[in-house]
């Protein structure tokens, strides 16, 4: 029974300077488009952006407000060319999300113009440090295998964080009196991970087990026998386990939980 989680949504900004040669800007835009395509097609991320290229503080302000309204899970700062520090600072100081700073190789076109992607990255690292925020970093265009791997790691990490924030864990039963060492702080769990703890009483769970019908068990056993080689002498015991399994599925569906654990 797979859990249904939302698709990740990333804000994407392509920083540049508007006075560079058209060929430079076109190449930077192409690299950004390739990066977005990889995120969307290969990693299943929804990409949102306010404009194709950002080079002023006002455009940065519009971008972070748009990302906040879209409730993005992370922001990718793509450095298509060199950019000035304030365009990054406006976004970083206003959004508390995971960030990926992306720098590309210095590329040369026919006129051998210097675009300075990595020169733009360096002050961005300083901005994050001064604002007390963390970021991940990747170097290279998306044709680079190492760049792909690092982007994938970042996306999977953000995905894990996002899933934890919207997940609920069912705790079945309760600890024995006096066994405080097995307890947990629900609010601390929610503060750190964002995860909700849903308690299920053992009394309610055992009643659900008792109320599982023979017809439900018969249907489940057909599926179990397709998966496992169940011998005749183990059939009765397997039917008892099937009752527990069916009751557990009902708890998961009714309480909308993504994981569960018995409390000892």
- 39-95 pLDDT, tens digit per residue, is 999 999 999 999 888 889 999 999 999 999 999 999 999 998 888 888 999 999 999
Question: What pLDDT score does 1 carry?
Answer: 46
Domain ranges, residue 156 = 9-166
Which tokens is 25 given? 């800007």
**121: its two tokens:** 């990255």
**Per-residue confidence band for 111, with pLDDT thresholds at 50, 70 and 90:** low
Q: Which residue has the higher pLDDT, 253 or 99?
A: 99
Q: Is residue 4 situated within a structural domain?
A: no
Domain termination site, one of 141, 166, 191: 166
Q: Determine, yes or no, domain membership for 3.
A: no
Asked whether residue 157 is assigned to any structural domain, the reply reads yes
Q: Are residues 48 and 69 in the same domain?
A: yes
pTM comes to 0.77
Coil/strand/helix, residue 79: strand
Let me know whether 58 and 152 are in one domain: yes
Residue 1 within a domain? no
Q: Where is the domain boundary, 148, 166, 184?
A: 166
Q: Which of 138, 166, 194 is the last residue of a domain?
A: 166
Dihedral, 30, 17, 137, 161 alpha carbons, nearest 10: -80
User: Is the domain of 235 the same as that of 197?
Assistant: yes
CA distance 48 to 73: 11
Query: Is residue 143 one of the residues assigned to a domain?
Result: yes
Residues 159 and 223 occupy one common structural domain: no
Q: Are residues 145 and 194 in the same domain?
A: no
- Asked whether residue 120 is domain-assigned, the answer is yes
Provide the domain count of the chain.
2
The 10s digit of each residue's pLDDT in 148-180 is: 999 999 999 999 999 888 888 888 887 777 777
Same domain, 152 and 192: no
Q: If you write DSSP's letter for every residue of 40-63 in order, what string do you get? A: IIIT-PEEE-SSS-B-SHHHHHHH
Condensed to tens digits (0 to 9), the pLDDT of residues 183-228 reads: 778 888 888 888 888 888 888 899 999 999 999 999 999 998 888 8
Same domain, 151 and 230: no
Burial (0-12, 13-18, 19+ Cβ within 10 Å), 80? buried
**What is the pLDDT averaged over residues 2-12?**
82
Assigned domain for 29 exists: yes
pLDDT at 221 (0 to 100): 92
The Cβ-side half-sphere exposure at 138, using a 13 Å CA radius, reads 23
For residues 172 and 162, state if they share a domain.
no
**Are 28 and 145 within one domain?**
yes
- Name the 3-class secondary structure at 11: strand
Based on the domain organization, do 145 and 177 belong to the same domain?
no
pLDDT of 3 strictly over 80: no
Which CATH number fits the domain that encloses residue 139?
A: 3.40.50.10940
Residue-level length of the chain: 264
Pairing of strands 46-48, 136-139: unpaired
Q: Say yes or no: 27 and 125 in one domain.
A: yes
Q: Is residue 137 within a helix (H) or strand (E), and if so which, with residue range?
A: strand 136-139
By CB atoms closer than 10 A (0-12, 13-18, 19+), residue 154 is buried
Element (H, E) at 259: strand 259-262
In this structure, are 127 and 42 located in the same domain? Answer: yes
């Amino acid at each position: 029974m797979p859990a249904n989680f939302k698709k990740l949504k990333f804000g994407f900004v392509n920083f540049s300077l508007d006075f560079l040669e058209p060929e430079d800007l076109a190449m930077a835009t192409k690299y950004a488009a390739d990066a977005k395509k990889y995120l969307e097609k290969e990693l299943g991320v929804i990409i949102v952006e306010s404009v194709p290229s950002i080079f002023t503080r006002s455009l940065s302000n519009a971008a972070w407000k748009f990302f906040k309204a879209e409730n993005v899970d992370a922001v990718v700062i793509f450095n298509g060319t060199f950019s000035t520090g304030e365009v990054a600072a406006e976004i970083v100081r206003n959004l508390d999300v995971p960030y990926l700073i992306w720098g590309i190789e210095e590329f040369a076109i026919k006129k051998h113009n210097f675009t300075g992607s990595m020169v733009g990255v360096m002050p961005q690292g300083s901005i994050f440090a001064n604002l007390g925020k963390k970021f991940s970093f990747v170097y290279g265009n998306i044709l680079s295998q190492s760049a792909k791997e690092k982007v994938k790691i970042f996306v999977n990490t953000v995905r894990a964080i996002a899933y934890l924030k919207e997940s609920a864990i069912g705790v079945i039963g309760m600890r024995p009196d006096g066994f405080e060492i097995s307890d947990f702080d629900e609010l601390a769990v929610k503060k750190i991970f964002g995860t909700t703890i849903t308690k299920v009483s053992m009394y309610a769970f055992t009643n659900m087990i008792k109320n599982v019908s023979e017809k439900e068990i018969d249907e489940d056993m057909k599926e179990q026998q397709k998966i496992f080689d169940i011998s005749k002498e183990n059939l009765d015991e397997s039917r008892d386990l099937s009752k527990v399994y069916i009751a557990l599925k009902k708890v998961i569906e009714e309480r909308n939980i993504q994981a569960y654990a018995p409390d000892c």
